[in-house]
Amino acid sequence: MEVFKLKKSGFTQFQRELLPKTTIKERLKHFNEFQGNWTDKQSSEQGSRCMDCSVPFCHNACPLGNLIPSWNNLVYSGEWEKALNILHSTNNFPEFTGRICPAPCEASCVLNINDDPVAIEHIEKSIADRGWENGWITPIKPTTKTGKNVAIIGSGPAGLAAAQLINRAGHNTTVFERSTKPGGLLRFGIPDFKLEKNIVDQRIYQMEDEGVLFKNGINVGYDISGSELLQEFDAICLTGGSTVPRDLDVPGRDLDGIHFAMEFLVQQNKLNSGEEISSSQINAKGKKVIILGGGDTGSDCLGTSLRQEASETTQFEIMPRPPDQRTTSNPWPEWPLIMRSSSSHEEGGSREYGIMTTQFLGVDGKLEALECVKVKWINNSGSSKMEVVPNSEFIIKSDLVLLAMGFLHPEGSGILDQLGVETDPRGNVITNQNKMTNIEGVFAGGDMVRGQSLVVWAIAEGRNAAKGVNAYLKTL
C-alpha cells in the first residue's frame, strides 16, 4: 500500500469538531436524519488531526480493522476517492458505521489520552456519502461464475456483508429474509433519525445489480425447510440475529399498554417508509411513557416517543449511573465504561438509575402505573450484587411502557432445530474459527453467534463467514 506523508501537527492547530446538527426544535418535527456536512476545509482540518501514530490503536479497537490513519490523511489532502477505496477494503458498508457506530476506534485514539480524539466516525461518513454522491460506488460484478449456490438466512448487516463477498467470489447468492424488505435491524430497528432507509436501499440496489438475489417474506424453517435448503444449496450462512427479547415477568405484565421496544420501533419505521402495519399503532402521543432499559434500544424508543409527542418520557435503568470519567480500573485504550448521552437524550426526557420495577398496576386491564424500588449494587470481591434499598418503594403513573432490556438469544425453534445446529448455554450458535457450525457447509455470523452486539461487529462477522464459505466451496 502507498505510504503517505502526514501533516503531523493538525492536532495542535485544530479542535475536534463534529458534523453540524439542526436544532432540537426542528428535528423533533420529523423522523429524518438531522446531520449536515462539513466544508472541504473543515474535513481537511479534521483529517489532519490524525497523528499517524506508530502503533495505531484505532485499528485494533475496530472489529473491521479499518485502516483509519490512511483515510484520515487522504481526506486531509482532499483525495476522497482513494480514501473511499481504502475504506471499502475493510468495510462493505461505511455509510452505516459512519452514522451509527459507537466508534470504539475513537475511544482508543492515541489523542484521546490527553485531548479530544480524531472525529473518525464523521470522517468515515463524509467519505462514504461523497462516494455515493459522486457515483464512485458502482456494482462490482464477479468476473467468473463458479456455479455453486449459497443461501444466506437473514439480511441484517452480517447477512448483507456475507452475501456481497460470497457473490463477488462468483457464487450464486440468495438472501432469504422473512420481513417485507431486506436490512434487518438497520431497516426495522434503528430509527430513521439515526439511519434513513434510502441509505440502506442504495446498498441493496448495488447488491442486486451485482447479482445477489433477495427473497423477502420467506420465513426459513417454516416456508422452506432445513432439509430443502441443504438439498438446493452448496453452503448455507445463518445470519438471523438475536431476536428473542428479555421480558419482565412481574405481576400486571399482561396489562394493555406494555410493549416490547421492537413492536413500537418497527411500526414507526414501517410507517416512515409508507408501509402498512398489521395492528393498530402503539402511539406515544400525549402519553406518560416509561422506557425500561438504558441502552441503545431504550434511547431509540425515547427519540421516537419524543417525535410522537409523548407528554412525558422517563428511562429507568436497573444498573447504577456510570461515572462521567474513566475509573482507574478502566484505563485507555479500553472501551470507556462511562455515562453516555445519545442525540435522543439531548432532545428531552429524564433518566433514572438503580430502579427496579416490581409490579405493573392497572384498572380494567389497562396500565395506569408502575410500582418500583430503588436498588444499589454492592461490589463483592469482583462480582456485583444487587440489594433493594429499604423503604424505597414508589409508584409512578404511566400509560405506555416500552421494554428495552436487551435480547436473550436467537430463536432456537425453526431452522436451528431443523438443521441440528449446536448452541452454547446462552442459546447462541457455536462456530469454529472459519465460522462453520457443527453441521458441514452450514456457517453462521452476527448477533446469532455473538449475542446482541453492534453493526460494526455484524459486518466483521459477515465478512469472516464469507471467507469461511468461499474457502469451503473451493474444497467441493
Ligand X SMILES: Cc1cc2nc3c(=O)[nH]c(=O)nc-3n(C[C@H](O)[C@H](O)[C@H](O)COP(=O)(O)OP(=O)(O)OC[C@H]3O[C@@H](n4cnc5c(N)ncnc54)[C@H](O)[C@@H]3O)c2cc1C
In this complex, which beta carbon is closest to ligand X, that of residue 112 or of residue 243? 243
Of 258 and 456, the one with the shorter C-beta distance to ligand X is 456
In the complex with ligand X, the residue whose CB is nearer, 252 or 446, is: 446
Contacts with 379 (C-beta within 8 Å, 6 or more apart), sequence order: none
**C-alpha to C-alpha distance for 31 and 40, rounded to whole angstroms:** 28
Q: Which is nearer to ligand X, 120 or 369 (CB)?
A: 120
Contact predicate 404/248, CB 8 Å: no
Quick check: 396 and 314 in contact, CB under 8 A? yes
From the CB of 123, what's the least distance to ligand X, in Å? 17
Q: How far is the CB of 365 from ligand X (least distance, A)?
A: 28
Closer CB to ligand X, 225 or 358, in the complex: 225
Shortest distance (Å) from residue 177 CB to ligand X: 5
Q: How far is the CB of 294 from ligand X (least distance, A)?
A: 13
CA dist., res. 398 & res. 288, Å (int) = 5
Q: How far is the CB of 82 from ligand X (least distance, A)?
A: 26
User: Which residues of this protein are in contact with ligand X, per CB under 6 A?
Assistant: 100-101, 153-159, 176-179, 184-185, 189-190, 194, 219-221, 239-241, 265, 296-297, 300, 414-415, 446-448, 453-456, 458
Nearer to ligand X, 224 or 361 (CB): 224
Query: Minimal distance in Å, beta carbon 455 to ligand X?
Result: 4
Least Å distance, CB 179 to ligand X, is 5
Least distance in angstroms from the C-beta of 452 to ligand X: 6
Contact between 232 and 271 under an 8 Å Cβ cutoff? The reply is no
Nearer to ligand X, 110 or 400 (CB): 400
Minimal distance in Å, beta carbon 241 to ligand X? 2
Instruction: Between 103 and 372, name the residue whose CB sits nearer to ligand X.
Output: 103
Measured from the CB atom, the residue of 69 and 159 that comes closer to ligand X is 159
